[in-house]
Amino acid sequence: MIYNFNFTLRVKNEVIIQPFSSKISRIAISNVSQYYVKNTDSPGIKPFRVTAIKDSKPLFSTGKKFLKLIPDKNYSFTLTSVSEELFNEVVNTPSLRFKTYSTEAEIELKNVEIINQQDIILEDSDSYYIQFLTPTLLQPPRPSFKRKRNRYVLFPYSPFILSSLATHWNNFSNIKISGISGLKSLYYFREVSYNLMPITVPYDKGKVRGFTGWVKFALDARRNSKLRENIRRLLAYGNYFGVGKSRAIGFGEIRAFPKNQN
């Protein structure tokens, strides 16, 4: 099952925060769930995702301007998980006050969505939009040779997107998805229009460089084919867990939808 929690957040005083605002939402969840704390630093793919704080859109900065939260204003963020243990901890603490930076903050659980992972799939369409709402760190397949640093691409080629989504899906599902990361997806799920911007965001003691914006993809795979079904299923899954590296802390948040929902 997928558990999707929507929270509101308010701060008591005006406060300057880190350039990527998910630090606040992660502090909040750390005060609610011991399961979250225990698994945050564990290796491998995380069974949860916490988004950046939102004020109609995700809050982050390139570091050129201060990012601040205003008192008595309603912000929001989302926690998504496949863990029943985390679900039980969160529903047992629907509201909480906690200290963050130089102020006091309060979160309140507004609603919970419970979804069977096997049931999620986007409506069939001949094309789809993917909006990249927060900086997305998309990696090509790892090479066999030794490398000094991770390699990220600044364009979301379909095999890289689908491979990232499938890797996360397969970690938490008994029904595996395969055959979507090669030439088939490159030819049958192809970009037809885009508006993307490379962006560098300070995070902790370093910086991360990714991209934001949107891409329109045409889905040319045969109707009722397994490839077409898997692509639609993975896009729906990405709406809950994001795509790419560091998605667990809010990078790579996406909104995927068929063209008629634009």
Residues 101 and 136 in one domain: no
pLDDT tens digits along 86-141: 999 999 999 999 998 889 999 999 999 999 999 999 999 999 999 999 999 998 87
| Domain limit, last residue, from 115, 130, 155 | 115
Edge-to-edge strands, sheet with 48-50 = 48-50, 75-81, 2-11, 103-115, 95-100
Same domain, 131 and 111: no
94 and 140 assigned to the same domain: no
Based on the fold, state whether residues 183 and 245 are members of the same structural domain. Answer: yes
What is the pLDDT, as a whole number, of residue 202?
82
pLDDT score for 39: 94
The pLDDT of residue 261 is above 90 = no
Shared domain for 134 and 178, answered yes or no, is: yes
E strands in the chain: 2-11, 15-17, 48-50, 67-69, 75-81, 95-100, 103-115, 127-136, 189-203, 206-219, 254-258
Residue 181: pLDDT over 90: no
How much is the pLDDT for 220?
Answer: 95
pLDDT of residue 262: 65
Question: Domain boundary at 64, 88, 115, which?
Answer: 115
Residue 233 has pLDDT above 80, yes or no: yes
Cα separation, 24 vs 17, whole angstroms: 8
- Answer for the pair 123, 62: CB distance below 8 angstroms, yes or no: no
CA angle 133, 136, 137 (to 5 degrees): 170
130 and 14 co-located in one domain:
no
Give the CATH number of the domain where residue 215 resides.
Answer: 3.30.70.1900
Q: What is the pLDDT of residues 13-62, one digit of tens each?
A: 999 998 899 999 999 999 999 999 999 988 889 999 999 999 989 999 88
Task: List pLDDT tens digits, range 188-232.
Answer: 999 999 999 999 988 777 888 899 999 999 999 999 999 999 999
CATH code of 44's domain: 2.40.30.310
User: In the prediction, which pLDDT does 146 show?
Assistant: 72
Domain check: are 41 and 158 in the same one? no
| Six token digits for residue 162 | 């689908």
Q: Are residues 110 and 148 in the same domain?
A: no
Alpha-carbon span 37 to 33, nearest angstrom: 7
Q: Are residues 77 and 14 in the same domain?
A: yes
- H/E element holding 221? none
Query: What pLDDT does 169 receive?
Result: 96
- The pLDDT value recorded for residue 227 is 95
Residues 138 and 111 placed together within one structural domain of the fold? no
Helix (H) or strand (E) holding 148: none
| Number of separate domains in the chain | 2
Pair 9, 83 in one domain: yes
On the CB side of 243, CA atoms within 13 Å amount to 33
Percentage of the chain surpassing pLDDT 70? Answer: 98
Give residue 62's pLDDT: 85
pLDDT at 148 over 70: no
State residue 228's pLDDT score. 96
Residue 186, phi then psi, degrees to nearest 5: -65, -35
Residues 105 and 77 in one domain: yes
59-75: pLDDT as tens digits: 998 877 889 999 989 99
| Alpha-carbon span 153 to 151, nearest angstrom | 7
Residue 126 is part of which domain span? 121-261
Which residue stretches of the chain are H helix? 22-30, 34-40, 84-91, 158-171, 183-188, 226-241
Other Cβ atoms closer than 10 A to 157: 17
